[in-house]
Amino acid sequence: MENNENATWSKHIQLSNRTSECNRLFEFLADSLEQLPVTKEFRHDLKLVSEELLANIIKHGYDSHAVGFIDIELAVDGRSVRITFTDSAGAFNPLERASPDVLNDLSEGGMGILLVKSLTDEQHYKRDNNHNVFTVTKNYNK
């Protein structure tokens, strides 16, 4: 059995529901993934996925005047990166959207979830104690 140097660990950040928080999200991701043996493309893909999910929550979740928080946990286990987004807005499962007619519809979120599905290996939604919990997993060590 190989000595797994990539120990299991997780990091956490809390963002508020403002699009300017993107910058903190990007910093968080860059810092968290810095030591991981993954490609530039892998890092970009997770950055894009995270941005899409954050944007979706901000847009569809909290009422525009309400202050809301979004908890993000990034966990690594030697084979994959798992990012979990938790928010306390109304129930919303982005996976349930119908596929949009993207170019004619320009539907908000539709393109985003398409990108999320294409760039991650697993996606999972659950409603837990008045929270939306959305998890994506991307494998890097097969």
Q: Which parts of this chain interact with other proteins (CB under 8 A)?
A: 19-20, 22-23, 26, 41, 44, 47-48, 51-52, 54-55, 58-59, 102-103, 106, 108, 111-112, 114-115, 118-119
Rank residues 75 and 111 by Cβ distance to other proteins and give the closer one. 111
Cα–Cα distance list, 114 to 1, 7, 120, 123 (Å): 37, 31, 10, 11
Q: In b/e form, how buried is each residue of 33-71, taking b as 16+ CB within 10 angstroms? A: beeeebeeebbebbbebbbbbbebbbebbbeeeeebebe
Nearest distance in Å: CB 51, other proteins: 5
Nearest distance in Å: CB 92, other proteins: 16
Nearest distance in Å: CB 113, other proteins: 9
- Quick check: helix, strand or coil at residue 47? helix
Rank residues 78 and 110 by Cβ distance to other proteins and give the closer one. 110
Under 8 Å between Cβ of 130 and 88: yes
Nearest distance in Å: CB 119, other proteins: 8
